[in-house]
A = this chain, B = another copy of it.
Amino acid sequence: MSEYTLRVIGHVESVLAERAAAPRQPDEGAPDAWLVFDDCYAPALDGLVPGADVLLFTWLDRTDRDTLTVHPRGEAARPRAGVFATRSPDRPNPIGLHEVHILAVAGTRVHVRNLEALDATPILDIKPLLTPDR
């Protein structure tokens, strides 16, 4: 089997509307945002609490999946590198990985700090940061 189908479990709500406006990293001015999950996933959210730091997986849906090499950070003066050696959003499987801090949880809506994903970005998964006992 060479293909698998992702299920979109929710979407990002953010003031970031365009890729050109998005910061490249969360510490470069990313705004707070809401993660809005489909109601059917409410049971899977049990245990996510304000104050937790989690890994958010998104699908970067406004990217080019056929790009294999890039100039890092889009700087033409830097030599091209393979996308797997960079964080370029253009790559065969544009999975976004974001470490976020949970500010609030309201039903299936989760408010997080400093998220560099665009408005309406599909959500794929959330995992706790690696700890030995989870």
Contact = CB atoms under 8 A, between A and B. Distances in A.
Interface of A: 1-9, 25, 27, 41, 43-48, 54-55, 57, 59, 61, 65, 68-69, 72-73, 80-87, 91-93, 95, 97, 99, 122, 124-128, 130, 132-134
13 contacts: A1-B8, A2-B8, A4-B59, A5-B6, A7-B92, A9-B93, A41-B84, A44-B69, A44-B83, A47-B82, A48-B84, A72-B134, A87-B127
A98 to B, nearest CB: 10
Contact of A93 (B61, B83, B125): B125
Contact of A4 (B97, B122, B125, B130): B122
This chain: copies in complex? 2
Contacts of A124: 93, 95
A6 B7 contact: no
